[in-house]
Amino acid sequence: MNSNTIKENKTPNKKIETMNISGAEAIIHCLLAEGVDLIYGYPGGAIMPVYDELYKFQDRLTHILTRHEQGATHAAQGYARVSGKVGIAMATSGPGATNLVTGLADAQIDSTPMVCITGQVGSHLLGSDAFQETDIVGISTPVTKWNYQITKASEIPEILAKAFYIAKSGRPGPVLIDITKDAQFDTFDFSYEKCTGVRSYKPVPKPNTNAIAEAAKLINEAKKPMIVFGQGVILGEAEAELKQFVEKAGIPAAWTILGVAAMDSEHPLNVGMVGMHGNYAPNVLTNECDLLIAIGMRFDDRVTGNLETYAKQAKVIHFEIDPAEINKNVTSDVAVLGNSKETLQLILPLIDKKNHDEWHNEFKKRYDIEYNEVIKNDIKPTKEGLTMGEVIEEINIASKNSAVIVTDVGQHQMIACRYAKFNQTKSNITSGGLGTMGFALPAAIGAKQGAMDREVVAIIGDGGYQMTIQELGVIFQHNIPVKIVVLNNDHLGMVRQWQELFFEKRYASTVMVNPDFVKIAEGYHIESKRISERSELKNTIKEMMASKNPYFLEVKVEKEDNVFPMIPTGASVSDIRLK
Amino acid sequence: MEKNRYTVSVYSENNVGLLNRISGIFLKRHINIESLNVSKSEIENVSKFTVVIFTDHETARKIVGQIEKQIEVIKAYFHLDDETIYQESVLFKIDSSLLFDERNIQNIIKDCNATIVTVSRDFFVLAKTGRKFEVDEMYDKLKPFGIMQFVRSGRIAVTKAEMPISVLLAEFKENK
Ligand SMILES: Cc1ncc(C[n+]2csc(CCOP(=O)(O)OP(=O)(O)O)c2C)c(N)n1
Ligand SMILES: [Mg+2]
């Protein structure tokens, strides 16, 4: 252990002080003071002083050696998304740092709190094209909420405190701190105080009572109101408030792919997913409602389809924490700025109790159409080959809707988000805004470590799986009991689908020639199985869910299935296709 | 949508890398920066970026929103030309012989309200401050005689309306 005695940081804002320690050791104390106990990372020359301290502090800080720095970022993201805490990824300079970029971009667009720490060459070498020097501050600027290069040890406490504050306050996001090697070696008198504000940064706008009153008026007057909620509800921890609001106002509520777990899937007023592969009713009725209430969502183009024809007949209320999102894509009649928990609490007493039964029936009618044309064939297929939908359905049954579902990107992601059911928040971990193939396997590791008491199931395509497959090493080494389900269609299925529909079946580079996935898992000593028959499905899923260990399951599914419904790019939400 | 020239004014902390962060927001939307000036502002330790772009009102508004949300940005505004008082400065370096040989040059200096910054044996330097078209006019007049060097500063502007940055800073402090 370390020779300098540090007082335990029991009271969060208490000042911690210690004399003459190295920058590297100071970094560890900052992390401990912020309540960090888990770091994902990969060592190398420029970050070695910090790793040396990690060695000394291993009883208090666990470092997980991912097999690639990208894996470290996605694991940190998975951890952050299930726990609501800040995820930490660490890497060396140069290639280590550039390998973080995809995860940073993913966390930035999906508002995930993450702090990345990179080593940098010594400050005397900066700008000289030194060995493993890259301008990671320059490279990461557009994909970080904030970043900073530390060149003096004495800057460490204040900058790291600021990093944590910025990453998790307001609309969360990733922060990268680059620390030169000399700043890690130099010693100084350390003292730490948590950051409570930055003078140029206003994380949460104050709710405007006029806007809230105006919004309440529109809600009370509406005949055909509809809610679309997003991840802002989860990040604002406003799930209970959302439920109260929906129930009191009696308004059908749809969700974006990142918002799904904010509301119980089986709630009678839950009308499903909006967007490109969302449900028929909420997409079509977006263009029939008289009031669209957006809560903590940002009108992504995958949600809105063609903006020229999006909800033009409706008044729009936008509950949002980030002023830059107001009128960015869709113009709102009333913008309710603020934290969703606070604004929903404020509006609740102003809302009349109602039930819009007739209007709700319009959703049910269209659900029935979708059920007969699409859903039935997806989850209760009669054809020979297995479908992705029926696999998800069996997982729902076996987990009783309580699992954390981590998905990769592609057809399996859309199917999983359409059919997975949730009865708890912070349960759908997917790469929404960036659509990062390779996200799921490392994110599932982080999700499991962030919620050890929960079942974590990763749903991954055969393509994306091979982008970060090396993280099986982490699962094996630490015996992290995640359940990995590869839905193998031997294709880059989503791209193949587009080629079929929009490129006259010219299948350029979308057939996957795959290895024996079971053998690979066996190579990592992970219990594994492959199935291709419906008769094996139920029991295998049960067996997988009952296992206390990591488990790999490959399901051979139909090779050329398509995901429907679908809003073709550039089309209107109401032109959603059922086939 | 109708395009116009907008002056974007950004009040910010004076930190390394912020220029990169702000210019990246224009880059992301493929907007060309016509002129850029960074200086101190009326408030101690607060910098001011003055950026000139040619775009439509909606794009300007969204860009300013995205600039303003950057952590170290205090406030950003955008204005049309007639809402601001703005100027640019230029320097011309010209062969000294011309100053004595060509009467015209002396007339140009007078007509354009330019000043002579320095005269040496080989060259003299003229300075002019004004609007872009005035500066361009002087450039066109001098061009036939040969300009050894020319440089124009970024636009600097103050708005006719108030920019209550000090109030904002006080508010930020309160919120802490
Ligand atoms: C890193 C990355 N590269 C490329 C893409 C484009 N892309 C989106 S879905 C997809 C196919 C995914 O195939 P697979 O993982 O097998 O999933 P499936 O669609 O077959 O379920 C591709 C290539 C992407 N989203 N991410
Ligand atoms: Mg596939």
CATH number attached to the domain at B3-85+156-175 = 3.30.70.260
Task: Give the ranges where A84-170 is alpha helix by DSSP (H).
Answer: 95-98, 101-109, 136-140, 156-168
The dihedral built from the CA positions of residue A182, A187, A188 and A194, taken in this order, carries a sign that is positive
pLDDT band at B166 (very low <50, low <70, confident <90, very high): confident
> Could you read off the pLDDT of A194-246 as tens digits, one per residue?
999 999 999 999 999 999 999 999 999 999 999 999 999 999 999 999 999 99
CA distance A72 to A484: 18
Name which CATH class applies to B87-152: alpha beta
Separation in Å, CA A343 to CA A226, A242, A264, B81, B100? 18, 10, 21, 38, 74
The partner residues of A428 in beta bridges, in order of sequence, read A405
| Pocket-forming residues, ligand 1, beta carbon under 6 Å | A 408-412, 435-438, 461-464, 487, 489, 491-495
Q: Is B169's Cβ below 8 Å from some Cβ in A?
A: yes
Specify the residue with its C-alpha closest to ligand 1, atom 11: A492
pLDDT band at B171 (very low <50, low <70, confident <90, very high): confident
List phi, psi (to 5°) of A403.
-80, 155
- Nearest residue in B to A329, CA atom: B62
Confidence (pLDDT) at A5: 40
pLDDT band at B165 (very low <50, low <70, confident <90, very high): confident
Confidence (pLDDT) at A2: 41
Q: Is B173's Cβ below 8 Å from some Cβ in A?
A: yes
Closest alpha carbon to B40 in B32, B50, B30: B50
- Nearest residue in A to B63, CA atom: A324
pLDDT band at B117 (very low <50, low <70, confident <90, very high): very high
Confidence (pLDDT) at A14: 62
Catalytic residue among A19, A58, A131, A519: A131
Indicate if A131 belongs to the active site: yes
Q: Is B13's Cβ below 8 Å from some Cβ in A?
A: yes
Indicate if A132 belongs to the active site: yes
Block residue for tokens 């500066």:
B135
The partner residues of A272 in beta bridges, in order of sequence, read A254
Catalytic residue among A181, A243, A426, A483: A181
Q: Is B62's Cβ below 8 Å from some Cβ in A?
A: yes
Closest CB to B71 among A200, A322, A328: A200
Confidence (pLDDT) at A19: 83
Size of interface A-B (CB pairs under 8 A): 55
Catalytic residue among A297, A437, A494, A512: A494
Closest CB to A323 among B65, B172, B176: B65
Beta-carbon separation of A142 and B12 below 8 A: no
pLDDT band at B101 (very low <50, low <70, confident <90, very high): confident
Separation in Å, CA A409 to CA A130, A396, A402, A463? 37, 20, 22, 9
Regions in chain A scoring below 70 on pLDDT: 1-14
* Structural domains for chain A: 16-192 (3.40.50.970), 209-362 (3.40.50.1220), 384-556 (3.40.50.970)
Q: How many CA atoms lie within 13 A of B136 on its CB side?
A: 3
The residues, any chain, with a CB within 8 Å of residue A520's CB and separated by 6 or more, are: A469, A472
ipTM of the shown complex: 0.91
Confidence (pLDDT) at B175: 56
Q: How many CA atoms lie within 13 A of B30 on its CB side?
A: 0
Q: Report every protein residue that has its C-beta within 5 angstroms of ion ligand 2.
A: A 461-463, 489, 491, 493
Residues in chain A closer than 8 A to B65 (CB atoms): 323-324, 326, 328
Beta-carbon separation of A201 and B72 below 8 A: yes
Q: Which ligand is nearest to the CA of A460?
A: 1
Mean pLDDT of the region B124-130:
96
List phi, psi (to 5°) of A469.
-60, -25
Specify the residue with its C-alpha closest to ligand 1, atom 5: A437
Q: Which of A494, A517, A562 to mutate to test the pocket of ligand 1 (most atoms within 8 A of CB)?
A: A494
Alpha carbon of A292: minimum distance to chain B alpha carbons (Å) = 22
Residues in chain A closer than 8 A to B61 (CB atoms): 327
Specify the residue with its C-alpha closest to ligand 1, atom 8: A410
Alpha carbon of B85: minimum distance to chain A alpha carbons (Å) = 26
- Every domain of chain B and the residues it spans: 3-85+156-175, 87-152
- Nearest residue in B to A202, CA atom: B172
For residue A438, report the distance from its CA to the centre of ligand 1, in Å.
9
Beta-carbon separation of A202 and B65 below 8 A: no
Confidence (pLDDT) at B173: 66
Alpha carbon of A329: minimum distance to chain B alpha carbons (Å) = 10
What length is written for chain A? 579
Q: Write down the mean pLDDT value for chain B.
A: 93
pLDDT band at B102 (very low <50, low <70, confident <90, very high): confident
> Could you read off the pLDDT of B5-44 as tens digits, one per residue?
999 999 999 999 999 999 999 999 999 999 999 999 989 8
- Nearest residue in A to B60, CA atom: A328
Indicate if A181 belongs to the active site: yes
CA distance A465 to B29: 33
Catalytic residue among A132, A244, A345, A470: A132
Catalytic residue among A69, A239, A362, A370: A69
Q: Which of A68, A418, A468, A492 to mutate to test the pocket of ligand 1 (most atoms within 8 A of CB)?
A: A492
CA distance A71 to A477: 15
> Could you read off the pLDDT of A23-64 as tens digits, one per residue?
999 999 999 999 999 999 999 999 999 999 999 999 999 999
Alpha carbon of A514: minimum distance to chain B alpha carbons (Å) = 37
Mutate to test the interface with B, among A200, A202, A307, A329 (most CBs of B within 10 A): A200
Beta-carbon separation of A197 and B176 below 8 A: yes
Mean pLDDT of the region B58-77:
97
Q: Are A422 and A457 in contact (CB under 8 A)?
A: no
In angstroms, the first-to-last Cα distance of chain B is: 40
Task: Give the amino acid at A436.
Answer: T
Confidence (pLDDT) at A13: 57
